[in-house]
A and B are shown apart, each in its own frame.
Chain A
Amino acid sequence: MAEFTMPSLGADMDEGMLSEWLVHPGDRVTRGDVIAVVETAKSAIEVECFHSGTVEALLVDEGTTVPVGTPLARIGTTSESPSAEISPAESRPPESPPAESPPPSTPLVRRLAQDLHVDLTVVHGSGPGGRITRADVEHAEPAPARDKTVPTTRPVKPVRGDDWAKERPAPLRVKASPLARRLATEVGVDLADVTGTGRDGTIRADDVRSAAAAEGAQRPAVPDMARAATARLMSRSKREIPHFYLATTVDMAAALEWMHACNRELSLSARLVPAALTFKAIALAARKVPALNGHWVDDGFVPADEVRLGVAVSLRGGGLVAPALAHADTLSVTEVMAALKDLVARARGGRLRASETVDPSLTVTNLGDQGVEAVFGVVYPPQVALVGLGRIVERPVAVNGLLGVRPVLTATLSADHRAADGATGARLLTALDRLLQHPEEL
C-alpha cells in the first residue's frame, strides 16, 4: 500500500490545487505515469506517481486545494499484494461509464497500440472528437512491461465499439473543429481552457479567437498568482542571499561559424540557435566548477550530483518559471536544442511535468532575444548561482593586435557569496568562454 501525496513542486510551494485526475479507481499505474494535474501558483503541472500498482481510492476531489504532503490517492502496490491482481474486467470502475465517452479508436490504432505497447487509456486523442489517431499512438510513450502475473495467453476479448468506449476513462479532451484546432496551435491557446459555443459545446474558430483575445484581459487573474509567486521568491533571494556579480565578454565568432556549418546539414526544424550552444557550454562549465552547481541547504552548500539547468522562461501573461533541463551536460548540442524548444513550449502552455519543476542546480537566464546586452540576475533559492546571457552583437574587438569586427556576447554570473567566492565564479565564466571557442568539442 502506498500513498500518493500532494508533491512539492518548487521551493516556494506550500499548497496545490488538484485540478484533474487522469486515473480512476481500479486503474493500473506504473511508476512514472502521469496520473494527475496539479495547479500551483505558477502553472498547471502534470504529476507523475512514484509507485506501481492499482489505484484503490482517490482521496481528494478535483478542484480541491490541499497542503503539500496531503494524501491524494491510495495505491495498492503489486509487490505487497500480488494476489490482489485484478482482472481487466473487474478493473473497470464499478459505476456506469462516463456520460460522454470519446469515440472508439480505429482498429488500426488499437493494433498499433498493441504492437508498440502503448496504453490507449492514457493517450491524448488529437483527432476529431478526441479520437486517438495513429500519430498519437506513435508519439506516445510505451507503457512499461505489464505485470507478469497477467497471463499473456489470455485470449483477447473481441471488443465491440461500445465496450471499448466504456473501458476508456472519462473524456479528458475537448471537441473542437479542425479549424479551431489549427488556430489554437497557431495562436498558442490551450483548447482545454476554451469554452465551446458550438453544438454540444464544440469549440469553433471564433471561440479560440475570443479566448486568445480575452487572454490579455483574463491573464491578470492567473498571472497575478504567478507574479506573486515570483515576487515572494525574489524577495526571499534578495533578503537572504548576499549576491555578487561577474561579467565577461565572449568572442562568439568560432561558435557561430560552427553553428552555421551544422545548420547547413540540418533540416529546417532541427536547426540550431546560439542558445543551444551556450546552454550546453554552461552545463559543461557547471560540471567543471561543481562549487556553483547545487543548493544552499541549512547553512551549508550541497553540491548537486548532476547538472540540472534551470531555464528561465517568461510567461505570456507575466511571471517567470524556470523548469529544469536535465542532463544538459551529457546531451548533444542538437539534443539540447530539441529539449529547449520542447521545454519552453510546454512551460508557456502551462504543461510542465513535475520532475521538471523540481529544483534545478543552476539557472540560466537568456535575455538576448529581448535585445539587451547584459543581464545581472537574481539567484533562485536554494540555488547558489545564475548565469545571464545578453544579445550577441557585433563590436570592434582587438584580436592578436589587430582590430576587427566580431560577434560578442556578454555572459554574467550572479552568485551567492555564502557558498562561493569571486575566484570560483571567475572559473565558471572562464570555462564557459573557453568552451565556446571550441564549439566542435561541445
Chain B
Amino acid sequence: MSTRTRPRAHPDDGTTTFREALREGLREALASDDRVFLMGEDVGRYGGCFGVSLGLLEEFGPDRVRDTPLSESAFVGAGIGAALAGMRPVVEIMTVNFSLLALDQILNNAATLRHMSGGQLGVPLVIRMTTGAGRQLAAQHSHSLEGWYAHIPGLRVLAPATIDDARHLLSAALTDPDPVLLFEHGSLYNAAGTLDPAVHEVDLDRAAVRRAGDDVTVVAYGGCVPKALEAAEELAGAGISAEVVDLRSLRPLDDATIVGSVRRTHRAVVVDEGWRSGSLSAEIESRICEQVFFDLDAPVERVCSAEVPIPYARRLEEAALPQPAGIVAAARRAVS
C-alpha cells in the first residue's frame, strides 16, 4: 500500500494519536524484553489491519513480528503454548467478532490452566483486539463483546480510552502472570492528543476520574469515554456538574472508585456500547444498587446500544450507538 509510510510517533506539533501511542507501547515492549513477540493476521507486512504495528516488522524482524494464517483458534492457541513455554506473546485479533473463533482457547485454556494445574502453569499472554462500531463496518466487525470476556474469571480485561493509557497499558499488561485482554475501540485510533510526559505507567486496578463533578456520575469505558466527556461539557453549560469515571479495567471492576463517586453525587448514568440485556452496564448498576442503595437519589440510568446487529447505514449506525445527546438526556433524567 503506497500510502502507508512509516509514521513518526511524535510529529513536530507534539501531538500523537491513539494508534501511535499503542505502537509506541508495542515498540517499547519489543525493545525491552526478548521474550515479547507480536503475532496475528497482517500484523507484519501489512502493518496491522488498523495500522497499529506499521513499521515494527522492519524494525524488529520476522521472528518478533509474525504474520499468521486466518485461524484465530490456531494462533491464539499457539500464543498460549508460547506463554506456557516462557515467552511473553502479544496476539492481535482483528476484531472482537472474530475472537469468538478463539473463544475456546481463551476460555477453556488461557483462563483456566492456572486453576486446573494447581497453580503450576501460568499463561502470561496478552491478546489485543479491536472492538466497537462507528466506522460503517457493519454487523460482523462492529460489536462490543468485551462484556462477555469480563464475565470470565481467570482473565484481566482492559479498555484504554486515552492516549496515555494506550501508550502505557501494554507494558503493565505484560507484567501480569495471567492472560490479559486489551480492547482497542476502533473509533479511537485516530484520536489525537498529547502524551503526558509525567506519566510513565498506569495502574491497571484503578478506574480513572476523567472529569470531576458533583451532580451525577457518568461511568463509561473505551470508545464511550470521549462521548461521556462531551456530554459532561454540554451538561456543564446547563449547570449540571457531571463526574466522568473511565473504568479502564472491565475485569476486575474498581468498585471503590465507582461507588465512591456515586456516594458523593447520588446519581449515576452507566454508558456501555454493549447491548443492554445482560451487559457490563447491568453488572455496574447492580453493584451500585448493592453497595450504595441508600445514597441513591434517583434510579440508575443506562445508555447502551440498541439491541440490533449494528447497522451498516451511517444514520442507522449512529442511531444504534450511545451518543452524547443520549447521555445528556439520561443525566438530566437522573438529576431532574
Contacts and interface: CB of A to CB of B under 8 A. Distances in A.
A179 B296 contact: yes
A180 B266 CA distance: 10
B231 to A, nearest CB: 20
A204 interface: yes
A427 B297 CA distance: 58
Contacts of A178: 293-297
B120 to A, nearest CB: 47
A205 B336 contact: no
B74 interface: no
A157 interface: no
A180 B293 CA distance: 11
Interface string B298-334: 1000000000000000000000000000000000010
Interface string A350-387: 00000000000000000000000000000000000000
A199 to B, nearest CB: 7
Nearest to A177: B297
B336 A177 contact: no
Contacts of B336: 198-199
Instruction: Name the prevailing secondary structure of the B interface residues.
Output: loop
A179 B295 CA distance: 5
Contacts of B293: 178
A180 B333 contact: no
A204 B296 CA distance: 9
A182 interface: yes
B26 to A, nearest CB: 46
Contacts of B294: 178-179, 181-182
Contacts, number: 26
A179 B266 contact: yes
Contact of B266 (A181, A198, A199, A205): A205
Nearest to A208: B297
B297 A199 contact: no
Interface string A172-206: 00000111111000000000000000110000111
Nearest to B266: A179
A115 B333 CA distance: 41
Nearest to B333: A199
| Range of interface residues on B (Cβ < 8 Å) | under 10
A361 B294 CA distance: 43
A178 B336 CA distance: 16
Nearest to A179: B297
Contacts of A180: 297
Contacts of B296: 177-179
A93 B297 CA distance: 35
A202 to B, nearest CB: 8
Contacts of A204: 297-298
Contacts of A179: 266, 294-297
Contacts of A205: 266, 297
Nearest to A205: B297
Interface in B228-247: none
Contacts of B295: 178-179, 182
A180 B294 CA distance: 8
A182 B297 CA distance: 10
A204 B333 CA distance: 12
B333 to A, nearest CB: 7
A379 B332 CA distance: 57
Interface in A220-246: none
Contacts of B333: 199
Contacts of A181: 294
A182 B298 CA distance: 13
A39 B297 CA distance: 31
A205 B333 CA distance: 15
Nearest to A181: B294
A182 to B, nearest CB: 5
Contacts of A198: 298, 336
A205 B263 CA distance: 13
A178 B293 CA distance: 7
B302 to A, nearest CB: 16
Nearest to A197: B336
A210 to B, nearest CB: 14
A235 B298 CA distance: 50
A398 B296 CA distance: 59
B269 to A, nearest CB: 15
Interface in A30-61: none
B222 to A, nearest CB: 30
A282 B204 CA distance: 67
A181 B295 CA distance: 10
A266 to B, nearest CB: 27
B332 to A, nearest CB: 11
Scoring A179, A198, A204 by chain B CB atoms within 10 A of each residue's CB, the highest score goes to: A179
B115 to A, nearest CB: 36
Interface string A150-184: 00000000000000000000000000011111100
Interface of B: 266, 293-298, 333, 336
Given A179-B266, A198-B298, A199-B333, 6 more contacts: A177-B297, A180-B297, A198-B336, A199-B336, A205-B266, A206-B297
Interface of A: 177-182, 198-199, 204-206
The list of the 4 closest CB pairs from A to B, nearest first, reads A179-B297, A205-B297, A177-B297, A178-B294
25 contacts: A177-B296, A177-B297, A177-B298, A178-B293, A178-B294, A178-B295, A178-B296, A178-B297, A179-B266, A179-B294, A179-B295, A179-B297, A180-B297, A181-B294, A182-B294, A182-B295, A198-B298, A198-B336, A199-B333, A199-B336, A204-B297, A204-B298, A205-B266, A205-B297, A206-B297
